[in-house]
Amino acid sequence: MRSRRMILGLIAIGLLVPACKEVEASEDSTYQEPSTLVAIDGSDVSQVILTAKAAERIGLETASVEAATDGSTIIPHAAVFYGLNGETWTYTSPEPLTFVREPITVRAIDGDTAYLSEGPAAGTAVVTVGAAELFGVESGVGH
């Protein structure tokens, strides 16, 4: 299942690369970069900040982390992203149009629900659609 999600994510990123092209700004151009990376001090991840139009284009969707009765937290399985080495993480949204990759530890998966033993606190927004594109922006795919 992990490799299938990773392959689908890489395919999604690959489909975006041909769609990327440089736009020359003229004096009267109102072109705005669709995303901005902001380094996080002491971290190997960056904040990904999107324009509203970019978020709309990738169909970005979020859901809230929920508290489970056993003290763990719950996120939609769609919010779990698997790295090439089996690491798991999710993109949180600490403020509108701003996204940060956060490591998580998945305790169990039941259908469309992932139970976490480590991860973002209940109430935190996590990305359920568009994580592959955010990762592409963060890792520089297409630039």
Q: Could you give the number of structural domains in the chain?
A: 1
Q: pLDDT, tens digit, for every residue of 78-114?
A: 999 998 899 999 999 999 999 999 999 999 999 999 9
Q: Which range of residues forms the domain containing residue 9? A: 2-20+33-139
pLDDT of residue 4: 53
Angle between helices 131-139 and 2-19 (to 10 degrees): 60
Asked, for residue 44, whether it belongs to a domain, the answer is yes
Q: pLDDT, tens digit, for every residue of 13-52?
A: 554 445 444 545 555 568 889 999 999 999 888 999 999 9
pLDDT of residue 133: 94
Distance of CA 46 to the CA centre of its chain: 11
DSSP code string of the chain: -HHHHHHHHHHHHHHHHHH----PPPTT-----SEEEEE-TT-S-EEEEE-HHHHHHTT-EEEE-EE-TTS-EEEEGGG-EE-TTS-EEEEEEEETTEEEEEE-EEEEEETTEEEEEESSPTT-EEEEE-HHHHHHHHHTTT-
Asked, for residue 95, whether it belongs to a domain, the answer is yes
Asked, for residue 100, whether it belongs to a domain, the answer is yes
pLDDT of residue 26: 52
Domain with 78 in it: what CATH number? Answer: 2.40.420.20
